[in-house]
Chains A and B, each alone.
Chain A
Amino acid sequence: MSAITLSGVHKWYGDYHALRNVDLDIAPGERIVICGPSGSGKSTLIRCINGLESHDQGRIAIGDEEVREDARALQRVRIRVGMVFQSFNLFPHLTIVENCMLAPVRVGEASPAEARERAHALLDRVRIGDQKDKYPGQLSGGQQQRAAIARALCMRPEIMLFDEPTSALDAEMVKEVLDIMTALASDGMTMLCVTHEMGFAREVADRVVFMDAGQIVEIGEPTAFFSAPKHDRARAFLGQLIH
C-alpha cells in the first residue's frame, strides 16, 4: 500500500485556487523533494497532508487512514506523520528535552521516564545531546532546527514532512541540518521535503516533484529532472538557480 495517496486534490483560499487537481502516490521509504517557484502551492500541499490545512475536494490518505475533518482521525494521522517547519516553532517556554517529551507523554501515552530516554537518544542522534536542558532561545538556528527534527521523531512517525527546513538558516547552518536529513533518509524514513536545496534533492531524492501555479507539472528522477527538465516552467526555474 502507498504511504501517502493524493487523488484529485483541490484547495481554495477564498477565490484563489491554491491546489488544482493534485495526484500523487508515495511508496513507503520513498524520498520526495517538492520544488517550484514561491506561491506554487508546495507548502499548502504538505500542510494538507497532515491536516493543518483542509482540502476542499479529492482524497488524501496516509496508508489506509483518510485525512478528513474529524478530530480523532486527524490525531491518528498526525501521530503517524511528523512535521518540521521553516521557523522551527519550538516551544520557547520549555527546555529542549521538554519540547521533545511533551507529545509522547500527552499524546503517545509514554511514561515520562520512557519519553525522556527516547528524547535523549534522539537528541544525541541529531548531535545536540549536550544542549538538552537549554531553552530554544539559547540555541543557534541550526541547533533549533535539529531539535525540532528530534521533537518530531520522538513520536516515532512513519512519514516526515519538511516545509522549507533550511530557508530561515544562515548559510553555515544549512549543512548541519541537511546532514541530519540525509542520515534520516538513509535510515529508510518516508520523507516529503519542500526545499530549494537542489544539492540535497540530487543526492537524496528518489523523485523530484515540480509544482507551478497549484499543479504538479513534472515528476522525475533527480538526474533526469536536473539534466533535462521537460516543462518550460521547470527549465526557467532551474535556470534561475545558482548551482
Chain B
Amino acid sequence: MSYVRTAPEAILPAPVVARPSLAASLFGDAASSLATVFITLVALAALPHLFAWAVTNGVWVGDGEACRDAGACWAFLRAKTPFILFGIYPEDERWRPMVAVGIFVVLTIWSLPRKHWTRATLFGWIAGIVAALLLMGGKTIGLTEVPTSAWGGLPITILLTVLSLALGFPAAVLLALGRRSPHPALRWLSTGFIELVRGLPLLSMLFVASIMVPLLLPDGVTIDNLFRALVALTFSAAAYLAEVVRGGLQGVPRGQEEAARALGLSWAQAMRLVVLPQAIRNVIPPLTNTVVVIVKNTSLVLVVGLFDLLSAGRVALSDPDWPAPYAETYLMIALIYFTICYAFARYALHLERTLGQVRR
C-alpha cells in the first residue's frame, strides 16, 4: 500500500443515494403495509356516511322545514352567514363592517412583501384601525350610532386579534427587556407581571375585566366592555409573547451588544437595530405558535357577552325556525379560523426561510 500520492487522484461523482419513494413508505415492509391497509379501510368505512350526510341528503336550498330529518343543512348557512359574519349589527348598516373588514384585508395583503415594511405602512395600519373603529361606531363621522354592544362577528374577531397583537407585541418586547434588566425594580415588575398573567386563566381575567372592574369604578364612570376585554387579551398576549422574545434575546451573543455599544450606539439603538432583529428572527417558529393561540383565544370573549364569530354562530343557532345544525355552523366557523391561522403560519414559514438564511 502506498500512503503518499505521486499523481493526483481522480475527482469522482458522489454515489447516488436513493430517497425512499412514496410506494416504499406506504408498503415498504409488513408494518407499513398493515398500517396503510388499516387506515384505508377505516377511511372507506367512514366516507360513505360522510358523503351521504353532506351531499346526498344535504339540503342546499330551502327553509327550516326542508332541513328536518335530512342530512347537512347547508341552507341554514346560506341564510345565516351574514348574521354569523356581522352579528346583531343593524342589517341596513352592514356595509360598514364589510368596509372595515375590507380595510384590514387590504392592509394585510399590502404588508406582506418585506419591502413594504416601512414607517408609511405602520401609519397606514394606525389610520386603518382608527377608520374601522370610527366607521363601526358611526357617531363621530355623522352616521347612525351603533354601540359596541351591537358589533359582532368577524369584525370583532379581527379587531380583537389585530389590536391585542399590535399593543401586546411592543409591550412584550419591553417586558422581555425589563426581565433581563440590571435594575431590580424593572426586573421585578416585568417578572411579576409576566408570571401573574401567565398563571391566571384567560377566562378569569376576562370575567374580572367585564364584571369586577365596573364594580370598582366610581359611579357614572363606565368603560366600554369591548375595551375591557381587549385589555385582558392584550395582557395575556404580552405575557406569553414576552417569554418567547426573552428566549430569542438569550440566543444573541453578548458580543453583538458590545460591538454596537463600542461603535457609539446608545443602549436603545443597540437593542432596536442590532439585538432585537436577531432575537426575533431566532424565534419565528415559537412566535408563530403563540400568535395562532392568541388568534383563537379571542373566541373566549363570548363568555363576557361579546359577539365574536363563535358567539354570533351560537346566537344564529338559537333561531327556532331552524333545526339547529351545530356541526355545519361550527364547521364554517372552524374553516374561517383555520384559514386565518394557516395563512399566517405559511407566511411565517416564508419569513423564516427568507430572513433565516443569514446565519452566523
Contact = CB atoms under 8 A, between A and B. Distances in A.
Given A89-B256, A91-B274, A52 B262 contact: yes
A89 B258 contact: yes
A52 B258 CA distance: 7
A152 interface: yes
A107 B259 contact: no
Given A106-B273, A137-B360, A91 B264 contact: no
Interface residues of B, number: 23
A155 interface: yes
A58 B266 CA distance: 25
A78 B359 CA distance: 28
Given A93-B277, A93-B278, A78 B255 contact: no
Contact of A78 (B253, B256, B262): B262
Contact of A103 (B264, B355, B359): B264
A39 interface: no
Contacts of B273: 102, 106
Contacts of B360: 92, 136-137
A53 to B, nearest CB: 10
Interface in A75-125: 75, 78-79, 81-83, 85, 87, 89-93, 102-103, 106-108
Given A89-B256, A91-B256, A83 B262 contact: yes
Contacts of B359: 92, 137
A107 B358 CA distance: 25
Contacts of B256: 89, 91
Contacts of A42: none
B264 A89 contact: no
Contact of A107 (B263, B277, B278): B263
Contacts of B358: 92-93, 135-137
A52 B261 contact: yes
Contacts of A92: 278, 358-360
Contacts of A108: 264
Interface in B237-290: 253, 255-256, 258-267, 269, 273-274, 277-278, 281
A164 to B, nearest CB: 13
Contacts of A137: 358-360
B86 to A, nearest CB: 43
B263 A85 contact: no
A135 B264 CA distance: 22
A92 B251 CA distance: 13
Interface in A29-52: 50, 52
Given A85-B255, A106-B269, A155 B277 contact: no
Nearest to B255: A89
Contacts of A11: none
B5 to A, nearest CB: 22
Interface in B311-360: 355, 358-360
A171 interface: no
A92 B278 CA distance: 8
A192 to B, nearest CB: 13
Interface in A56-72: 71
B39 to A, nearest CB: 43
Contacts of B259: 83, 85, 89-91, 148
A75 B264 contact: yes
B254 to A, nearest CB: 9
Interface in A140-154: 148, 151-152
B307 to A, nearest CB: 43
A78 to B, nearest CB: 4
A71 B265 CA distance: 10
B357 to A, nearest CB: 8
A93 B259 CA distance: 14
6 contacts: A75-B266, A89-B256, A91-B278, A93-B358, A152-B262, A155-B264
9 closest cross-chain pairs (CB), A and B: A89-B259, A103-B263, A107-B264, A89-B255, A83-B262, A78-B264, A135-B358, A79-B264, A92-B360
Given A75-B264, A92-B358, A106-B273, 16 more contacts: A52-B258, A78-B262, A83-B262, A89-B253, A91-B274, A92-B278, A93-B278, A93-B281, A93-B355, A102-B273, A102-B274, A107-B264, A135-B358, A137-B359, A137-B360, A152-B262
